[in-house]
Structure 1
């Protein structure tokens, strides 16, 4: 069985209040993205890495690889207008069947254990989508002045990796883009497949705001 990982580059640094793209910010003296790729390479499944970045970021990434002596083999692919198009571009680079994990570039603390478990469940059941339960109470905003409590026991927070048999993901990404496609699971579900949820990790945080990066530094100590 062949294994792949499509690492999807994050957005700009606007919410980080930083001009540097989030995946290039330093975490323990090397870019976040290098931690993310290293997590997958450390996995026993040894997936082939497909990195999807906006074309304008390719040269900067190559320069960073030289600067930090980062020699992990990977294929660099152009990102698209939306995340949907970026994942589809990465998927098109895979010519064989097998299992593919799609993962956010800005989730550098994902464990090898979770990656491996997701590959195993996807191989057995077709897909595996990581999630955690919310700790906080949740309310739905109905208007500027009204809100409604939601039973948090009926909710989960979706993470990545989202891992699929490649045949499933290909069928999903044959569809046209829709704004309601918020992740790969929503794409594959729309194509008619059942989504298998597996327990994710609290430490598998997505670096979006400055405090997320501070927490990641703390967790890596």
Structure 2
């Protein structure tokens, strides 16, 4: 059987402006550990063989000493600098992976509550479909509004999902598509197409269909100070 090396690109290059803190959110302490610690710990303890950590400009040395070495994340083989846009950071991370990677999970470092079950479901989804995204059905009614904030449409809630990470792909597929995106990004912007996640790269530039599989409602992204408190509550229930 062909070896199926699975790697992870963990994104920690954001500034976290909505956190209103001098400390970047990925380094803010949650229950005594930096936020980025929790996602990296899950990947370290999982079947993932290689991690590439993507950080902000000037943070490589800090992350190497204060995150990777301090917590002995031996699977974090490389730390690379992010780019101007999220997709630039993802592409930098993808190119830093070992060429023998078969599947890659792209994950927001600000999502601390991934689990082994989620990772296994994501990998199986990528094996079966080439492209797989973790998410959950929405609980609330969603309204589409016009430019004056008047409701114009109410989509069928049963067809709507909240998209999470990891987003998992055949490595060569997503690497090739991100290289195409670099060449076509300005053209897409002129058409009003704004790439907001990795699945959208696949949807926009290929005919591969992206499979959604169940993640967890606990798999939240830490964005605001309120999210920090929610995360601390979740951690307490897990102890």
State the TM-score, normalizing by the size of structure 1. Answer: 0.93
Q: Which runs of 5+ in 1 are unaligned?
A: none
- Local SS of the residue matching 2:80: strand
Which residue of 161, 178, 182 corresponds with 2:196? 182
Q: How far apart are residue 145 of structure 1 and its match?
A: 4.9
Instruction: Decide whether aligned partners of structure 1 residues 18 and 3 sit closer, same or farther in structure 2, where only a CA change above 3 A counts.
Output: same
State the TM-score, normalizing by the size of structure 2. Answer: 0.86
Q: Which moved more, 1:135-144 or 1:99-108?
A: 135-144
Q: Does 2:177 match 1:162?
A: no
Q: What residue in structure 2 maps to residue 70 of structure 1?
A: 71
Aligned partners of 1:36 and 1:109 also within 8 Å: yes
Q: How far apart are residue 134 of structure 1 and its match?
A: 1.2
Q: How far apart are residue 25 of structure 1 and its match?
A: 0.8
Q: How far apart are residue 140 of structure 1 and its match?
A: 1.2
Cα distance in 2 for partners of 1:120, 1:214 equals: 33
Instruction: Decide whether aligned partners of structure 1 residues 71 and 97 sit closer, same or farther in structure 2, where only a CA change above 3 A counts.
Output: closer
Q: What residue in structure 2 maps to residue 80 of structure 1?
A: 83
Q: Does 2:231 match 1:216?
A: yes
Aligned partners of 2:118 and 2:215 also within 8 Å: yes
Q: What residue in structure 2 maps to residue 152 of structure 1?
A: 157
- Local SS of the residue matching 1:138: coil
- Local SS of the residue matching 1:186: helix
- Local SS of the residue matching 1:220: helix
Q: How far apart are residue 170 of structure 1 and its match?
A: 1.5
Q: How far apart are residue 10 of structure 1 and its match?
A: 4.6
Cα distance in 1 for partners of 2:219, 2:151 equals: 30
Q: Which runs of 5+ in 2 are unaligned?
A: none
Structure number with the higher helix fraction is 2
Q: Does 2:222 match 1:207?
A: yes
Q: What residue in structure 2 maps to residue 11 of structure 1?
A: 14
Q: How does 1:40-119 map to 2 (within 5 A)?
A: 40-43=43-46, 45-65=47-67, 69-73=70-74, 74=76, 75-94=78-97, 95-119=99-123
Q: Does 2:39 match 1:36?
A: yes
Instruction: Decide whether aligned partners of structure 1 residues 125 and 26 sit closer, same or farther in structure 2, where only a CA change above 3 A counts.
Output: same
Equivalent residue pairs, number: 219
